[in-house]
Structure 1
Amino acid sequence: MRETNLHALRTPLYERHRLIRARMADVGGWDLPIAYGSQIEEHHTVREDAAMFDVSHMCALDVRGTDARAFLGRLLANDIGKLKSPGKALYSCMLNREGGVIDDLVVYYLSDECFRIVLNAQAASRDIDWMRTQIVESGCSVTLVPRRQDLVTDDVEALAMIAVQGPNAREKVFRAMPSTRAADKVKPFNSCFVHDAVVGALMLARTGKTGEDGFEITMLAKHAVHVWDALRSSGICAAGFHAWDTLRLEAGMHVPGRDMGPQTSPFDVGLGWSVDLGEKRDFVGKAALQARAQASQLVGLAFEGSGAVARTQSPVMSLEGEVIGKVTSGTYSPTLQMAIALALVSPDIKLGSSVSVEVYSKRVSAKVVRPPFVRDGSPVGKR
């Protein structure tokens, strides 16, 4: 049965997905491909070779103005001052006044008066409303320019995004579109613009959420089909969001709304490294963040001798039966061939501890481990 919503939004590549018989479903209000065939095969293709994802539902947002740097310095928990060269990227959380996570995002330095932020799809409209409130409160002179097709204004062209991920991703992109080879020297968590004779400007960012190397490629939405066809013609297969979810969970990547949210601080979910508490800077939520105690920790769970997948909100218990936390994301790991999960548990639980999780009314044993489960296609440590 086709799991869809007649009112869901569609990306510029919707017809291409239908053409190759993708299984479509409603993903956060977007009609997106969840698999084109076997999601296990798509997962392994990313780990062993390369595959591509349509991520045009993510929202590229340009922050423009003479006060852009000052505004982002106040808005983000990480220090925008670290971005000193065009193309450099920064990961950060955007916090509420209580120090809770509104969203996590990546910001790219394009120029002193223009930064590009990539917002998570479902949170984009809410994020933009919050940012507009902060513009008023800060008195900064900046303009927010959403570039997603459902949010653009009449005088702005929409963008689309395709993520090509895997150990062979970059070389396959270069072969598919020779103009992109200008990005050969781009380092991880950096980006650059290249010019293609057919589609014009392309932004290639060496980022992604699969735990593999590759590019997130941004282009004008009207050229998305051409780029997609060029990549497919060169042998890069398409992968859907079921594979994306197993890949990101193996890589220990967070999803807002599941693994973190307004009630959790970055320190509660293992993202303290992305917070800069330097004395000379202030940001929304800093004072509250410094005052609050760590309420939880985000850990990995490796299930022992069971293929049963824990559902979100499944209770995590000590061996004595005390509830010590809850599962935030669970899946079957195709790479490890075992069930894994991320869970928010008490901050005093030690790595290596044995716990149990309630899975379909049964208690299943699991080991507490540090994410990620997989790095560069290989298991991390002994699970």
Structure 2
Amino acid sequence: MRSSPLEDRHRRLGAKLVPFGGWDMPLSYPTGTLAEHRACRTDAVVFDVSHLGTLRVTGPEAYDRLQQAFTNDLARIGPGRTQYTHLLDEDGSVLDDIIVWWVDDESFEVMPNASNTDRVRLALAGAGSDGGLRAEDVTADRAVLAVQGPEARGRLATISPEAAAVARNCVEAVGWDGIALTVAGTGYTGEDGVEIAVPADHAGSLWDAVTAAGITPAGLGARDTLRLEAGLPLHGHELGPGITPLQAGLGWVVRWDKPSFAGKAALAVERERGVARRLRGLRIEGRRPPRSGQAVLRDGDVVGEVTSGNFSPVLEAGIALALVSPDVTIGDELAVDLRGTPVPATVVKLPFVG
């Protein structure tokens, strides 16, 4: 089990640490997940997301390798920008969803999910011709802090105006107290904010400065309820074996005019014939939280399955993402089998909040 460079800070704050993707990470602090969630929606929080992988991809072939491996098209952006993309299996299902930080002409920071760093590194090593590329796993060398919420930039500006000014979907190298930071205008909450990569040896100092500025520590429990309210997919739930970008409603991440990428042929077949299921949002009647794996019913018949579900602190109701029959549309009245009790649910437009 790996540990974050900030583990001592989490323990001092009384965090509940749990295994996640091979790491011991904070689930919540003594204030609790609901309070942390609401702080992100109304003010500013900081998450330790050091469990995410970082592959530093450099060299004259870096751009071409990323283009050949991933579904999205870097030609649509440029240095100093970020891009969400997918790595597909040959059957078109999503091996991982990834954020690419294009730092400069021949340098990229590729951010896989916690357990997929080696898989993505091997995929890059196997794409294209040999030579002219370096894909180095630098996960252990840095920590990543996600500062999120409507007041995130204002509070961060009291520490580093340069970091606070990094625009949405942009990435910049900035200095803070003599330390080199890489800051991206990205996040996973549905709120504005930035993610900051800091050398591991200096992570504690930055964390202390951020929390001293009145930014509330938040754990992975709140990060999950926030991303669910925002309708954002989680690998292993809305994405993974047997689930394609088209089924997940993420066809915009696939650039068909690229000459090739892993899984393109199988995905093209699915696009031609139509998907067998698609991801929808469900608002549940009452406060009971639905859970992954529960059946979705229409007139008593199973038409799908919940992929993620929880209680929404903002809506004060149960919400779920579910893979359902492709003829299920927004406004349909369904039900979710909550441990043997069918509870009414309405198909709603995503995001639930935002």
Query: TM (normalized to structure 2)?
Result: 0.96
Give the structure 2 partner of residue 239 of structure 1.
218
Give the structure 2 partner of residue 122 of structure 1.
115
SS of 1:249's equivalent in the other structure is helix
Are residues 1:190 and 2:183 paired? no
- On the 8 A contact 2:164/2:194 being kept in 1, the answer is no
Give the structure 2 partner of residue 13 of structure 1.
6
Give the structure 2 partner of residue 289 of structure 1.
267
SS of 1:374's equivalent in the other structure is coil
Give the structure 1 partner of residue 22 of structure 2.
29
Instruction: Determine which of 266, 278, 302 is the counterpart of 2:283.
Output: 302
CA distance in 2 between counterparts of 1:275 and 1:93 reads 8
- On the 8 A contact 1:76/1:94 being kept in 2, the answer is yes
Q: Deviations over 1:268-321 (max 9, x none)?
A: 00100111101x5221111211112312111111001x2221111111111x21
Give the structure 1 partner of residue 103 of structure 2.
110
Q: Deviations over 1:29-88 (max 9, x none)?
A: 21111111221111100000001000011111111111111111111111111222x220
CA deviation after TM superposition for structure 1 residue 185, in Å: 4.3
Are residues 1:166 and 2:149 paired? yes
Are residues 1:262 and 2:237 paired? no
CA distance in 2 between counterparts of 1:246 and 1:183 reads 26
Task: Using the TM superposition, name which of 337-346 and 181-190 deviates more.
Answer: 181-190
Query: TM (normalized to structure 1)?
Result: 0.88
CA deviation after TM superposition for structure 1 residue 140, in Å: 5.8
Instruction: Determine which of 132, 135, 144 is the counterpart of 1:141.
Output: 132
CA distance in 1 between counterparts of 2:302 and 2:191 reads 35
SS of 1:59's equivalent in the other structure is coil
Are residues 1:208 and 2:208 paired? no
Give the structure 1 partner of residue 36 of structure 2.
42
CA distance in 2 between counterparts of 1:263 and 1:127 reads 18
Give the structure 2 partner of residue 362 of structure 1.
341
CA deviation after TM superposition for structure 1 residue 367, in Å: 0.4
CA deviation after TM superposition for structure 1 residue 236, in Å: 1.2
CA deviation after TM superposition for structure 1 residue 196, in Å: 1.8
CA distance in 2 between counterparts of 1:338 and 1:252 reads 15
CA distance in 2 between counterparts of 1:142 and 1:10 reads 29
Q: Percent of aligned positions with the same letter in both sequences?
A: 39
Gaps of 5+ in 1: 1-7, 150-157, 376-383
Q: Deviations over 1:134-157 (max 9, x none)?
A: 35xx446311111111xxxxxxxx
Change beyond 3 A, Cα 1:143–1:247: same
Give the structure 2 partner of residue 353 of structure 1.
332
Give the structure 2 partner of residue 218 of structure 1.
197
Are residues 1:67 and 2:49 paired? no
Are residues 1:343 and 2:343 paired? no
CA distance in 2 between counterparts of 1:372 and 1:241 reads 20
Gaps of 5+ in 2: none
CA deviation after TM superposition for structure 1 residue 98, in Å: 1.6
Change beyond 3 A, Cα 1:126–1:289: same
Give the structure 2 partner of residue 274 of structure 1.
253
What residue identity is the alignment partner of 2:139? Answer: R
Give the structure 1 partner of residue 70 of structure 2.
76
CA distance in 1 between counterparts of 2:6 and 2:293 reads 34
- Aligned residue pairs, count: 350
CA deviation after TM superposition for structure 1 residue 28, in Å: 2.3
CA distance in 1 between counterparts of 2:336 and 2:213 reads 45
CA distance in 2 between counterparts of 1:262 and 1:112 reads 33
Give the structure 2 partner of residue 324 of structure 1.
303
RMSD: 1.4
Q: Deviations over 1:94-113 (max 9, x none)?
A: 11112111111111111221
Q: Deviations over 1:324-383 (max 9, x none)?
A: 1100000000000000010001111111101111111111110011221011xxxxxxxx
SS of 2:2's equivalent in the other structure is coil
Give the structure 1 partner of residue 294 of structure 2.
314
Task: Using the TM superposition, name which of 12-21 and 32-41 deviates more.
Answer: 32-41
CA distance in 2 between counterparts of 1:352 and 1:56 reads 39
SS of 2:127's equivalent in the other structure is helix
Task: Using the TM superposition, name which of 355-364 and 331-340 deviates more.
Answer: 355-364
